[in-house]
Amino acid sequence: MVEAGLEPEVQEIFGHVQLGHNFLLSGGAGSGKTYSLVQFIQEAIKLNPTVAVACMTYTNAAVKEIEERVNHENLQVSTIHDFLWDNIKSFQNELKKTLIQLVNDPAVKIKVPDGIVDATYYDALVDGIQYKEYVSITNGIISHDEVLILANYMFQTYPKLCDILKDKYKFILVDEYQDTNPLVVEIFLQHLKQSNRKNIIGFFGDSMQSIYEDGVGDLNTYIQAGEVYEVKKEQNRRNPISVIELANRLRTDGIKQHPSSDNHAPNMQDGRVREGTIKFYYSSQGVNNLETLKRTLNWDFDNAIQTKELNLTHNLIAPKAGFGELMEIYDNDKILDYKNRIAKYIKENNVAIDFSEKTFGEVIRILKDGKTGSELKKVNPTTGMQSFIDAHSEQFESAKQYPFDVFKKIYLDKDSLLDDTKKDKEDENKKGTKRDELIKHLFKIQNNINLYKEERYNEFLRKTEYRISNIADKQNLKDTIETLDRMSDETIEDVIDYAHDNRICKKDDKFDNFLRDKEYVFIQVKKIKFQVFQNLFYYLEGYTPFSTQHKIKGAEFDNVLVVLDNGNWNTYNFEYLMNEGIFDSLTASKKSSFQTILTRTQKIFYVCCTRAKENLVVFYNLPSVAIIEKAKVWFGEANVHSIDA
């Protein structure tokens, strides 16, 4: 008998469980989804004292939170990657066969340097296939990305694995399901159907907060097919009523939140929901007025616990936060822009010359040969490109020596440097991210330094190749970390080499592949002081008064300032969000991607607004008339103000 004191939504879930249904609890921001998850686990164990429950989430912090709320021997809480590895690592013969199969499949992004491998390639490995923090496919060492691919293939190929998993766990629960990689969803909702054993798969989350591109986003296909039954949780325990009403205007999935009936909910005061404030400010003159607005608000922006400024405008933040040199490389390289101009000319003009053996410099010379006037102008740098080339002549001469087939594949943008699609610093590689492998490698170095300094020694040893056998090893490690910690003024290259040589962070396959394919980028980055990267690290990890919109997912603050500025991002467009008529003005090619960008932007804006527990202010620089009118609809005309005066 299900306990009567459970939340109505949890009682509804158990109704589905009794019918053998897989389920989904959908709840908006601040609805208390984790509380429902904990209630379900506690009741499931109470009703089934002899069965095991598996609960997966994304970060080590979330794992600890759930373990602290439910302490029971029948409950296993882990990250998704750890869970999948734990359930395939004992089947080494199958693992070796699978890895060989995938390495030899050109459609799969798992490769060894020598190409195709034979059926006995991994037989000589003493320790078999291993899962570590770095990748060395040649030596049978896989990391986070490969675990998902291997597990998906193995559960699809070996139905016996599905039997074993279902026998082992009566309940498999996935927290923050919307961010789950589709490969994981396939395992639980498709591959496990190969087994006739019975168990329940439960998902908890919010499709409107699926702001990570590699996530499944929603389970609508499975819901419509009757394979998953949805339970909606529509209360809001965090936000004031003004923010709740704004958030409801932004949602697209039919969930309309209302204040909780619990008088003790955080957003209640004296038996009533807090009113709160929402304001929309704009400037038609320039972003400098943002500082004027911040002074006018009179919030304590140095108090990162109480007040947060959320930005996508990294270009404006970079100099203040101290990583401008890296931003210049990743977002202002006009030599690469010129390379793109050359590649575009070749494609659009159907140039039939074979450039496969030519350098970038030779391609430029061949295309210019014999051209004059307007034709020459098409293959010359633009004025802006030429100014950059003149100021970076040595860099340009180096670029001209690269094989064109290699150089033309190098693309850099802010996402390669700044993409923040993970949730905590220990999980750098566990979320899909657009950061390139060089930046990921630097993050691993700094993460490992921090783990040691925070005395989290077990985690440190698990993530590094360092081994301690005696007191001398401990002292050597202490000296090594202290040396690394003093290397802020050394170059990035020196830090990478020292961390590798001292087994703090190995250069793996992914790092080596980056050097092979993007040496041009590494040559520029390696000369920069490590302190510049550390400034970037602390910015993205939320140690500065500024923050990215991704970083605050799940967090909450009394005061939230959201700065809307497209900043030339390809993945977000606030003009799309707030100007409904813009679709008609787009070219056919842009219309095809309009809905994807709009949906992504709408979700990131929803996440930002719903962080506010008291006051929400949105600032938009240089809005169109249509955007101002849309703001009046969403925020109320009395809450929309120009700050130019």
Bind-site residues for ATP: 27-34
| 495 to 10, 128, 504, 506, 531: CA distances (angstroms) | 51, 31, 10, 12, 10
Distance CA 282, CA 287 (A): 9
The label of the residue with tokens 């090893």 reads: 473
Contact 607, 209 (CB under 8 A): yes
Annotated binding site: 27-34
Question: If we measure between CA atoms, which residue out of 364, 442, 448, 438 comes closest to residue 407?
Answer: 364
Q: How is residue 74 written in tokens?
A: 């029948």
Give the torsion sign (CA, 559, 564, 570, 576): positive
Tell me, rounded to whole angstroms, the distance of Cα 578 from its chain centroid. Answer: 25
Q: To 10 degrees, the CA torsion angle through 573, 574, 578, 583? A: -10
Question: Which residues have a Cβ under 8 Å from the Cβ of 530 and sit 6 or more positions away?
Answer: 487, 488, 489, 490, 491, 492, 494, 495
SS3 assignment, position 181? coil
Measured at the CA of 373, the angle between CA 367 and CA 379, to 5 degrees, comes to: 30
The pairing of beta strand 268-269 with beta strand 272-273: antiparallel
CA gap 445, 451 in Å, rounded: 10
- Please give the torsion angle defined by the CA atoms of residues 478, 481, 482 and 484, in that order, rounded to the nearest 10 degrees: 160
Task: Give the C-alpha separation, 557 to 518, whole Å.
Answer: 40
